[in-house]
Amino acid sequence: MDQQWARIRGRLKDEVGEIAYRSWLQPLSFAGIRGGEVRIVVPTRFMRDWVLTHYADRIRNLWSGENPEVQSIDVVVAAANAPAALAADDDGEDIEGNDAAPAPARLSSALVQPNSYTSGSYGAAPPSPAFSDESPTAVASVLEDRTDISAPLDPRFTFENFVVGKPNELAHAAARRVADATSVTFNPLFLYGGVGLGKTHLMHAIAWQIRRNDPNRKVIYLSAEKFMYQFIRALRFKDTMAFKQQFRSVDVLMIDDVQFISGKDSTQEEFFHTFNALVDQNRQVIISADKSPSDLEGMEERLRSRLGWGLVADIHPTTYELRLGILQAKADALNAAIPLKVLEFLAHKITSNVRELEGALNRIVAHAELVGRAISLESTQEVLHDLLRANDRRVTIDEIQKRVAEHFNIRVADMHSARRARAVARPRQVAMYLAKQLTARSLPEIGRKFGGRDHTTVMHAVKKVEELRTTDPAFAEDVELLRRMLES
């Protein structure tokens, strides 16, 4: 298995290039395979999230190529020093998912060799319910991440590699303008759009371009999540002056996925002051989010209005033409001979987002290479049958939430709310479970659709529902009924 892992690492290095490989993939270690699931260990929570969003599909595909039994991968944070409070067990009584951190004892099975983990499948220990998300104690597991505050940029995410079409032309033009401007024109630039439509790609492209135009300009790019953790760390180490200094001395500040700090009041407060200080000094601020400023629930009103002061540009869902253009560009970049009718087929069938489209293309290319056969429509349908089925069904998470809420006689709003009473939390878990089963959405995406919950919450919901289906026949029947209704 170690040899297989070594081969996979080699492939990844060739695909993503030296810089991204060193930043994101070299630190990964392989911990074993159990029940068709490969376990990968990463040093920090931030890195886990990045790997999950950007590389998990590819790593899984490469593993399946090496070992056909492999179905999924599991990325966990190694945390030898995780405080005991974080690894507290949950007996399943408390049914909100963020409390699902399994006990270290359960994790230190024969398969799981290195150290201990701050959580089970998919991740670092989420804060226990007693802590708020922003509690310094609760996020101790990320405090070991003492790297540069700016996140590394993905070398693939440049303007040259960004395909422009109707849905993203405004966002692209605005991004270009800001990247090439010699003075600040719109401040902030606010880019927003649905999952996997290219926000991060555009943010990185701006950063690359600014650095290229003037290497002396100090550009900081980071996710809102990392901003929060930096802030918490500063509080914990009583280092807030240095924190403020660090952020307020930049020429360009770029914050990705700002919706993450919704509901996190002290981080918002700090962000608001940082933002104002920079805008006042005429420094460029660039923000991305999944919603427009006015739709950012849980964000203070003064911050929402401030975010909308500059230029707000949205990225719309892709059109067939854009999807085909992206597929052609990616196929060229992979140097893969793919018949046009296969690309057209994919552009018709996979409509959810660009990330999934890319994943599909990578899968068929990897498969063809492995079996040594040319790519055809038939092989594409065969290799992607799961994905195509999920896209065919086209059940949306909104529909699932509506149906499940009706069935259990609760309000749809409770699917997003923080209420933890069993009467609403259980249906919410059922809806998360069905979202995982019936849509092609990833765990983080599902979490976001349920009031911005963490992906570990979704994982916990899926496990809990699976468990209850085996122990409670009436419950199993309910779930089955809902599934049939949604599929029909």
Ligand X SMILES: Nc1ncnc2c1ncn2[C@@H]1O[C@H](COP(=O)(O)OP(=O)(O)OP(=O)(O)O)[C@@H](O)[C@H]1O
Q: Which positions lie near ligand X, rule CB under 6 A?
A: 157, 161-163, 168, 193, 195-201, 257, 290, 326, 354-355, 358
Q: Please spell the DSSP secondary structure of 151-184, one letter per residue.
A: PPPPTT-SSTTPPP-GGGHHHHHHHHHHHH-SS-
- The angle subtended at Cα 279 by Cα 273 and Cα 282, nearest 5°, is 145
- Of 42 and 327, CB closest to ligand X: 327
CB 141 within 8 A of CB 125: yes
What is the smallest separation between the CB atom of 276 and ligand X, expressed in angstroms? 25
The H-assigned helical ranges of 115-251 are 169-180, 199-213, 224-236, 240-248
- Of 123 and 196, CB closest to ligand X: 196
What is the smallest separation between the CB atom of 100 and ligand X, expressed in angstroms? 22
Distance CA 103, CA 90 (A): 8
What is the smallest separation between the CB atom of 171 and ligand X, expressed in angstroms? 9
CB 235 within 8 A of CB 269: no
What is the smallest separation between the CB atom of 84 and ligand X, expressed in angstroms? 33
What is the smallest separation between the CB atom of 57 and ligand X, expressed in angstroms? 10
Please report, for residues 197, 215, 250, 314, the alpha-carbon distance to residue 176 in angstroms, rounded to integers and kept in the order given. 17, 17, 20, 14
- Of 128 and 362, CB closest to ligand X: 362
Distance CA 51, CA 30 (A): 14
What is the smallest separation between the CB atom of 253 and ligand X, expressed in angstroms? 17
| Cis before 27 (ω within 30) | no
- Bridge partners of 78, per DSSP, are 117
What is the smallest separation between the CB atom of 326 and ligand X, expressed in angstroms? 5
Contacts of 468 (CB under 8 A, 6+ apart): 475, 476
Indicate the burial class of 411 (C-beta count within 10 angstroms; 0-12, 13-18, 19 or more).
Answer: exposed
Which residue type, as a one-letter code, is found at position 240?
A: T
What is the smallest separation between the CB atom of 238 and ligand X, expressed in angstroms? 33
Residues making up the annotated binding site for ATP are: 196, 198-200
Q: Please spell the DSSP secondary structure of 56-98, one letter per residue.
A: HHHHHHHHHHH-TT--EEEEEEB-TT--GGGG----S-S-SGG
CB 452 within 8 A of CB 418: no
Distance CA 393, CA 439 (A): 8
- Of 140 and 354, CB closest to ligand X: 354
- Give the nearest residue (CB) to ligand X: 198
What is the smallest separation between the CB atom of 199 and ligand X, expressed in angstroms? 3
CB 213 within 8 A of CB 311: no
- Of 8 and 354, CB closest to ligand X: 354
- Counting DSSP H helices and E strands in the chain, the numbers are 21, 8
- Of 161 and 246, CB closest to ligand X: 161
CA dihedral 279, 280, 282, 287 (to 10 degrees): 0
- Of 246 and 328, CB closest to ligand X: 328
Distance CA 429, CA 401 (A): 10
Using the CB atoms, write b or e for 417-451: b if 16+ within 10 Å. eebeeeebbbbbbbbbbbbbbbbbbbbbbbbbbbb
Tokens of 386: 């799961």
- Of 355 and 464, CB closest to ligand X: 355
What is the smallest separation between the CB atom of 179 and ligand X, expressed in angstroms? 15
- Of 6 and 19, CB closest to ligand X: 19
Residues making up the annotated binding site are: 196, 198-200
- Of 27 and 165, CB closest to ligand X: 165
Residue with tokens 């099975």: 109
